[in-house]
Structure 1
């Protein structure tokens, strides 16, 4: 009778008609939190493009642009866009060493062409000359192989003095020999040093 009046039970006000379900999930960012289903649908990408021909053309165009970029980089010496097989200080040192040297291998193609033509011309009229030209060509090939071996021997010694063993990739001998056998104007990447200009 003299006790305190019991407070009325707390009730949650009913949502007004203007309040939408999106308002109930609003966050402090000012927008509704997306449901998992909506997020997954937004992030889903089709495995197969709708227009396969357009996708193939786009892929070919990207490959063509990448090849052109690599080709221009090999012509100018820009290592940032060169193929991976030509990047790095060790490969650059190998190229400079080979390009600074006079290699018998770089004269193989013109020499072989001359001797083969001489052999064909003299095969019937002068068999002795044809046989001699063939022998000389084989001697030149043997000398070219010896010269390449001597080149790699000196280059390997310089690489070990210039770089740590862990920095020298495998296959540098073949990389150097194949470059030495190419005619100098056709080498890619283009030579960046002159004959006699050995790398430090």
Structure 2
């Protein structure tokens, strides 16, 4: 029996027609409905992506006035967080001068002690009242009290600085402690109820 051979061109044409028909029958990305907002040649974005993109576009300032307004709002919210942190002691939003374990230890060291310097303001008011009275003896007492108060504050500050320096060296070793002593002394000059950040330890409690 003799087998009939087909022409080579006929075989290739038939195979090409079959592949074309299979491609036309299978679903592709081009058959899916395209979002009219999606760029040509790109797939339709997911709903979550489209919502996030629209949200970012909506919140992006388009004019200089809107940008300035956004900056004022961000600055106002940052100041509000900072104010709350000063009242609660939250380290995340404290000003740079109050941040860090070294500054926190210095604050607790001052707040745990009785400091003569914190009573400087009421004593100064009392001495000024005495000095205003036109009585020589009272004016002499006022002058003497000025000297006594200043000497006591200086001595108390020196003792506090020496003890704090030793405590910082024992607690933090070679860690950067620059400015901690001056920071603590400035805090000791403030009345306890007016200190910011608010005291987190009681008097006599270990820092």
TM over 0.5: yes
Deviations 1:179-198 (A, max 9, x none): 01111011011000000002
Shift in Å, 1:138: 2.5
CA–CA distance in structure 2, aligned partners of residues 80 and 164 of structure 1: 24
Match of 1:147? 156
Residue 191 of structure 1: which of 178, 199, 204 is its match? 199
Shift in Å, 1:50: 5.8
Aligned residue for 1:54, secondary structure, equals: helix
CA–CA distance in structure 1, aligned partners of residues 73 and 150 of structure 2: 43
Q: Confirm or deny that 1:88 pairs with 2:100.
A: yes
Match of 1:159? 168
Aligned pairs for 1:64-79 within 5 A: 64-79=76-91
Larger Rg: 2
Deviations 1:104-159 (A, max 9, x none): 11000011011111211x2x2x1221122122122201210110110010011011
Match of 1:173? 181
Q: Does the CA contact (< 8 Å) of 2:127 and 2:142 recur in 1?
A: yes
Structure 1: which 5+ residue stretches go unaligned?
Answer: 1-6, 8-29, 33-48
CA–CA distance in structure 1, aligned partners of residues 168 and 190 of structure 2: 22
CA–CA distance in structure 1, aligned partners of residues 177 and 72 of structure 2: 32
CA–CA distance in structure 2, aligned partners of residues 100 and 109 of structure 1: 20
CA–CA distance in structure 2, aligned partners of residues 94 and 141 of structure 1: 23
Aligned residue for 1:102, secondary structure, equals: coil
CA–CA distance in structure 2, aligned partners of residues 141 and 60 of structure 1: 44
Match of 1:22? none
Q: Does the CA contact (< 8 Å) of 2:89 and 2:200 recur in 1?
A: yes
TM-score (norm 1): 0.70
Aligned residue for 2:197, secondary structure, equals: coil
Write 1 or 2 for the structure with the bigger share of helix: 2
Deviations 1:18-38 (A, max 9, x none): xxxxxxxxxxxx639xxxxxx
Q: Confirm or deny that 1:31 pairs with 2:39.
A: no
Moved over 3 A (4+): none
TM-score (norm 2): 0.68
